[in-house]
Amino acid sequence: MIELFDESLTRFEKSLKGEKADCDFDAYFMAIAFLDTIYIFTRMLLDSVVGIVNEYNKEGRLHDNFSKIYYEEFVKGNLTNELNTVFSACESWFPQFNIRRNDIVHRYETNFIVFRQNSEGERIAQQLSPQKNTQNIEDEDLRSYIGMVMAGYQCLVDKLLDYWDKMFLSWYGMSVSRHSTAFLGRSANILWWAYQYGGYRNYNMVVSES
């Protein structure tokens, strides 16, 4: 979905620069549809993380819904210290992301994409709600915003893996050994956007561009 969103948005941007006689409105509306899908799929991904946490959590089952864990457990301080550290990776991005996802799913909104110049004079893409003023950060660019969400997700995964390392050491007296994995093409999209647009870094990660 990320790649398809980027392709569609790029097509429309090129038409605005005069590379086509008319604006590519097909690409524009596809970009809007793929943007909505990114929000929905990302929340599904977070709920899947919760399922994995519950599978290995020996201190009691949590909610199956990521949002409920965040607001009813983490925000209220009802998690263990270890899980509190895990979910602290979501403080900077999840509340705003959840508002936008809920607008789509529960309030039946589809945000338009608008283009404007940022403070540095660069063209950026932003989202605009037809129903109300969408909570946008000044100069927020959609690609960077999605990158921030993907980076936040990767940080959550990192903290979760650190948590499991401690658990397995406590339970079995042994450390988990992980093999290096290469992500290529579309399978690397989340990591690529986190790295390229969200500033995500990990000392074990090696990035090469071809």
Distance between CA atoms of residues 174 and 26, nearest Å: 55
pLDDT of residue 39: 93
Mean confidence (pLDDT) of the chain: 84
Q: Which of the four pLDDT bands, split at 50, 70 and 90, describes residue 173? A: confident
Higher pLDDT, 194 or 121: 194
Q: Which helix (H) or strand (E) holds 123?
A: strand 123-128
Residue with tokens 């899947």: 48
Chain-centroid distance of CA 125 in Å reads 17
Q: Which of the four pLDDT bands, split at 50, 70 and 90, describes residue 19? A: low
pLDDT of residue 206: 84
- pLDDT exceeds 90 at position 116: no
- pLDDT exceeds 80 at position 22: no
* Nearest-10 crossing angle of helices 2-16, 189-196: 50
pLDDT of residue 148: 93
Measured CA distances, 12 to 21, 44, 129, 145, 164 (Å)? 12, 28, 19, 19, 44
The stretch 181-207 carries a mean pLDDT of 85
Distance between CA atoms of residues 3 and 88, nearest Å: 28
pLDDT of residue 21: 55
pLDDT of residue 166: 83
- pLDDT exceeds 60 at position 85: yes
CB 155 within 8 A of CB 48: no
**Domain boundaries defined on the chain:** 2-196
CB 178 within 8 A of CB 162: no
Pairing relationship of beta strands 112-117 and 123-128 according to DSSP bridges: antiparallel
Residue with tokens 């390229």: 196
Q: Which of the four pLDDT bands, split at 50, 70 and 90, describes residue 162? A: confident
Return the sign of the alpha-carbon dihedral for residues 36, 40, 42, 43.
positive
Distance between CA atoms of residues 31 and 34, nearest Å: 5
Distance between CA atoms of residues 127 and 120, nearest Å: 19
